[in-house]
Amino acid sequence: MAFSTQDSDEVLSEINVTPLVDVMLVLLVVFIVTAPLLTNAIPINLPKTDAVAPVEQKDPVVVSIDDKGQVFIAKEQIDLDRLQFRLQGAKAKDPDVRIQLQADNGVNYGVVAKAMAVIEKAGITKLAVITAK
């Protein structure tokens, strides 16, 4: 509070924070008490239903590269040049086709990069690179 006296022109400027702290503590108590009441406290027994089968996921096309750099589609060996045509055929059958790329740890990175480029040229956007844990 600011007090001034008639004897001097000096104003005492002190802020009394005790009422502010009291109000804040009261508000805190009010919020603590009312917060649990804001949740839905009505007990409801939900009905039981039969289990719904999940949406069928189509199997992805698996492209594998062994340690010698040979490319396989679902255990069938294929040249890297023919890979694009096979993948375009798979995309024509299913526009939402997914590709899983598995490459041996010892395979040259260039072969993997070429395979990824061929997959991209085939117009397939859903590609997962599979690794071991």
Q: pLDDT in tens for each of the 133 residues of the chain?
A: 555 555 667 777 888 889 899 999 999 999 888 887 776 555 555 556 676 665 566 788 889 988 888 899 988 899 988 999 999 998 999 888 999 888 888 888 899 899 999 999 999 988 988 877 5
Q: At how many degrees (to 10) do helices 80-93 and 109-121 cross?
A: 40
Alpha-carbon span 120 to 101, nearest angstrom = 12
Alpha carbon 117 to its chain's center: 26
Structural domains present in the chain: 2-38 (no CATH), 61-130 (3.30.420.270)
Alpha-carbon span 15 to 72, nearest angstrom = 80
Q: Could you give the dihedral angle defined by the CA atoms of residues 40, 42, 43 and 48, in that order, rounded to the nearest 10 degrees?
A: -70
Q: What is the pLDDT of residue 114?
A: 93
Q: What is the pLDDT of residue 54?
A: 57
